[in-house]
Chains A and B, each alone.
Chain A
C-alpha cells in the first residue's frame, strides 16, 4: 500500500518513525504545520534528509555566515557560497571551480569504498558547475601510525582514492597524511576537486522554464546507503521491505568517467538548462533543490526512476545514495540531442518529470500523489540552531602548559633525523606513488611540492591558448587548532596560502572542510565557532574569499572528540606557468635564503609531539600583514624569474625544511644559522610566515631589494651543493642518510 497525500490527510494520527530518521519532535511538528497535515512517508523521507545536519547545516549556518559578511572584496569571485562549488575568474576568459568535501565516517566503516565514493562525490559537484574536472587532492587523518586499525584503514583509503581517481583520469596533485591518536575511530578523508571552464559557461543548479524536462542520468538507482529509509518503509508497511539495505555505497569509477565525458559533451552541445549532481539524499535533494531555485515547481513521476532493484519503495528511491547519477533540466526540443549524447557514452538517461509554475514539488507513484510540498520549505527553510557553546573546561590549563618546560636536545642532528623519520614528517611516497599524478599531461608540480600546479592552456578542445596556470594546496593542523581554534584555523589558511605562494602563484580564493566532534557538545561548538570566526577574519586579512566548503560534525567516539580540524584549501593563479618555482634545492652554487622571522614558538610543534608526546601552550602567532608581504615577495620574485627553488617552513621548522629541500633533487647545502640565535630555536621553532628560497648569486641584489621594499626579513644562510646537509658546528648529515630515514618509515609501517 502506498502512503498517498489523500491517505495522509485521512489518517492524521498514524504514528510515523520520525525519531528513527533523526528528526526531533519539534521538527516533525513543524513539517505538520507547514503541510497542514501529517507528511506522507515520502514527504517525511524528504524533510528528514533535507533537514539533517549534513544537508541543512542547521548547527553551523549561523557561524558560516561570517564567510559572507566578512568576505574581502574580490573581483575574481564569479560564483560564491551556496552553489555546488565556488567559481573564480583566473584570467584570459578562464574560470576555475574547486571544493573540498569530507567522507569521514564511510571511510571508517569501509575504507576503500568510503574513500572512493568521497572522490566520486566531489568530482560530480565540480561537473555540476559546467566544468571539466582536472585534478584531485586528498587531505587525510588517521590514528597513530602503528595502531592496528590504522593498518586496516589507511591502505584501504589510499587504495580507494587511487582506484577511483586513477580510473577517472584525474591527476592527484597533492594532499596531506597526518597521524594522531585522536583520529583512531574517526579518520578524516577530505577530498578536493578542481575543474576548469570558460567564464561564460557556468552552469547552475536551477530548474527554470515550465515545460522543461527533468532527466535523471547515470547509474541505476539501487538500495545504497538507505539504512534510514528502510526504517521508514518497514514502519508503515510490513510487506516487501525485507531486502537488506546496505549503508555502504560502492562506487563505479568507470561509470563516472563516462558521465564526465558525457556531461562535457552535453555542455558543449548546449542542451542543458540546469544541472545538479546527486549526492547525499539523492533524488530527494536534487529535485527539491532544483525546484526551489527554479521557477518553483516540478512534477516528478517517481515510478519512472530506473532501478537496479525493482523492489525499492518510493521512500527508498528518494533517499537512495546510489553513486554516479546526475539530474539535468532540458528543454523539450533538446531532449533528442541530449539522449543521443547519452547513448553515445552508454549512459542510461530517463525523463522522470517536468518543470512547472505551480510553486509545488509534486511526485506521483503509479498515479497516486505521494509528495505535494513547497520545495523551498525543504531546501531552504530547515531548522536553524543557535547551539550553546562554552570554552572547554581544560582549555586554560592546556594553554598554560607551555613547552618551555620541556628538555631541549643536545644533539640537533639526531633530533632532526628522529623528526624526519617520524610518521607525520616522513615521506608520503608510499601513498602518493599509488596515485597517477601525470594523466592529462598538464601537471607542472605535484608531490612533494608544497602546492600542486597545473597548466591550463590545453584543457578543452579548441580552447584558446593561455600560458596561465593554477596552484592548489590544502592544509590543516589539528594540534594548533586544539590549542587555539581561532588561531589554528588562521594558521591552516596561512600555511595553505603560503604553499601556493612559494610556487610563484598569487593566492585567489579559499575552500574549507571543517571537521569537528558533536555540535551538541558546547565545548565542541565553542571550538567550531572560534575556528569559523578565525578563518573568516584571516580570509579578510589576507584578501582571499571563501567560495565554499563543507562541515563534518560528529567525528567522535563516545565523548572523545577529534582535535578540531579545519582543513583549508587555497587556489592561486600563475600568470605565466612557465615561471613556476620548483620545489627545494635544484642545483649547486645557489644562495640559500631564509625569509621571515623566527621566535621560540613550540606550542603544538612537531618537536614537542615527537620528542615529548606533549601538546600544550599556544600555537605560533598568525600575522596577516607579514604573511601577505611574504606572498607578495614570492610571487613578484617568481614572475621576474629571480628564484631557482623554494619551500615553505612549517611542521618541524627550518631543520625539516632544509632536509626536504635537499631531498627534492638530491642536492646538499652548507648553511650557517643566523648569528646570535639559539640553534635549537632557529632549527625547530614553527614560527609562521617563513620560507626558504634559492637564488643565483647574480640575482641576489635584486631579490634583496624586493624583500627590502616589502619589509620581509631576508637572511643568507649559505650555499647549495655537495652530498650532505651541513651546518658546521651543529650537524652534518649525508643526503643519502636523510633519504633512507625519510623514506623508510611508511613502507615499514605498512609492510
Chain B
C-alpha cells in the first residue's frame, strides 16, 4: 500500500501547519498541503485542520474560516466518512462548521495558557485514537486563549452516553464543561481537540515526550483496517 495522503489545511493565519505536516510524516504518511481558497481536496485519505489564529481569531475563533471555499468540499466529505482531525483552532473551526457539537469560548481564567497538560484518553473508538488504550494518561501541550468547551445539557448528555468525549483534562485548565478536551462526531471519523499532539512527537523539541504520536499512528491503523 502506498503511503496514506493526509491533507493539511492552511487558512490565512494558520500557524501549526508545518508542525501538522511533520506529525503526518513522523507517522509514516504523506502530508498534502491544502489551501483554504481552493475547492479541491486533492484526493486525500484524511484531513488535518491545524491550530493557529485563522483570520486573526477576530470575531470568534473559526467563525470566518468555516466559510472558506475548501470547507465547502470538506464538510460533505467529512459527513460521508472522511477522517478529519482538528486541533485547537482546527477544533474551533469544526465546531463553527457544525461538524462537531458545542463551542469553544474564552478560558475561565481569561488568560491564554501554554502548558504541558495531563490528559486521559476516554475513547479509542475514533479514527484518531485507536492506537491508545482507553483510560491511558498522556501529557500533551495545550496553548489557547479560547478553549473552554461548552454545549447545552442535552448535547453533553448525548456526548457522554455516546462515548464521544475523546479526551478529558486531568486538572481542568480552562473551565471546560465535564473537563472535555476533545470530542468526536457520532461516526468517530471527525475529532476535535484543544491539545496539540503535533507538539508532542519528539524528545528533542516541543513538550515532554512523544505522547502525541498516537493520534497519527491511529489514523494509519484505521486506514489499513478500513
Contacts and interface: CB of A to CB of B under 8 A. Distances in A.
A258 B36 CA distance: 14
Contact of B19 (A163, A252, A253, A440): A440
Interface stretch (A235-243, A286-294, A428-436, A486-494): A428-436
A441 B12 contact: no
A434 B19 contact: no
Interface in B141-170: 141, 143, 145
B53 A434 contact: no
A346 B205 contact: no
A443 B203 CA distance: 11
B114 A436 contact: yes
Contact of B205 (A166, A167, A435, A443): A443
Nearest to B198: A441
Interface residues on B, range: 20 to 34
B114 A437 contact: yes
B112 A434 contact: yes
A577 B202 CA distance: 13
Contacts of A258: 12-13
Nearest to B33: A461
A525 B65 CA distance: 53
Contact of B143 (A163, A439, A458): A439
B5 interface: no
A438 B53 contact: no
B36 to A, nearest CB: 11
Interface string A168-196: 11000000000000000000000000000
Contacts of A169: 15-16, 52-53
A638 to B, nearest CB: 14
Nearest to B113: A433
A48 interface: no
A413 B55 CA distance: 52
Contacts of B145: 163, 166
A166 B89 CA distance: 13
Interface string B30-58: 00000000000000000000001101111
A180 to B, nearest CB: 25
Given A438-B196, A441-B18, A441-B19, A455 B112 contact: no
B53 A257 contact: yes
A441 B199 contact: yes
A433 B52 contact: no
A95 interface: no
A435 B18 CA distance: 19
A254 B53 contact: yes
A135 to B, nearest CB: 12
A578 B204 contact: yes
Interface string A436-478: 1111111110000000000100100000000000000000000
Nearest to A253: B56
B209 interface: no
Contacts of A719: none
Nearest to A447: B114
B17 to A, nearest CB: 9
Nearest to A256: B56
Contact of A433 (B55, B114, B204): B114
A365 interface: no
Given A254-B56, A438-B206, A441-B19, A162 B12 contact: no
A680 interface: no
A346 B35 CA distance: 14
Contacts of B199: 438, 441
Contact of B207 (A254, A438, A578): A438
Contacts of A163: 112, 145
Contacts of A435: 112, 114
Interface string B109-137: 00111110000000000000000000000
B172 to A, nearest CB: 15
A458 B204 CA distance: 13
B97 to A, nearest CB: 20
A452 to B, nearest CB: 12
A166 B18 contact: no
B13 A254 contact: yes
Nearest to A439: B15
B60 interface: no
A345 interface: yes
B184 to A, nearest CB: 24
A167 B199 CA distance: 17
B106 interface: no
Contacts of A436: 112, 114, 143
Most buried by B among A253, A437, A439: A439
Given A254-B12, A458-B22, A167 B57 contact: yes
A96 B193 CA distance: 35
B19 A439 contact: yes
Interface string A21-55: 00000000000000000000000000000000000
A252 B57 CA distance: 11
Nearest to B19: A441
B56 A167 contact: yes
B213 to A, nearest CB: 13
A712 B78 CA distance: 63
Contacts of A437: 114
A167 B53 contact: yes
Contacts of A162: 112
A441 B56 contact: no
A345 B37 CA distance: 10
Contacts of B198: 441
B206 A443 contact: yes
Nearest to A345: B12
A166 B22 contact: no
A443 B199 CA distance: 10
A439 B13 CA distance: 13
Contacts of A432: 114
Contacts of A458: 18, 22
A138 to B, nearest CB: 14
Contacts of A168: 15
A438 B212 CA distance: 14
Contacts of A255: 56
B56 A444 contact: no
A455 B12 contact: no
A30 B113 CA distance: 54
A439 B16 contact: yes
Contacts of A443: 205-206
A42 to B, nearest CB: 34
B47 to A, nearest CB: 19
Contacts of A578: 204
A258 B145 CA distance: 21
A673 to B, nearest CB: 32
Given A439-B16, A441-B206, A458-B18, A434 B57 contact: no
A439 B112 CA distance: 14
Most buried by B among A169, A253, A255, A578: A169
Contacts of B196: 438
Most buried by B among A167, A432, A443: A167
Interface string A407-430: 000000000000000000000000
Contacts of B204: 444, 455, 577-578
Interface string A528-564: 0000000000000000000000000000000000000
A263 to B, nearest CB: 14
A439 B113 CA distance: 13
Given A253-B53, A257-B12, A439-B143, 8 more contacts: A253-B56, A257-B56, A433-B114, A438-B114, A438-B143, A438-B206, A439-B15, A440-B16
14 contacts: A163-B112, A167-B53, A168-B15, A169-B16, A254-B13, A254-B58, A257-B12, A257-B15, A432-B114, A434-B113, A438-B114, A438-B141, A439-B19, A441-B206
Interface of B: 12-13, 15-16, 18-19, 22, 52-53, 55-58, 111-115, 141, 143, 145, 196, 198-199, 201, 204-207
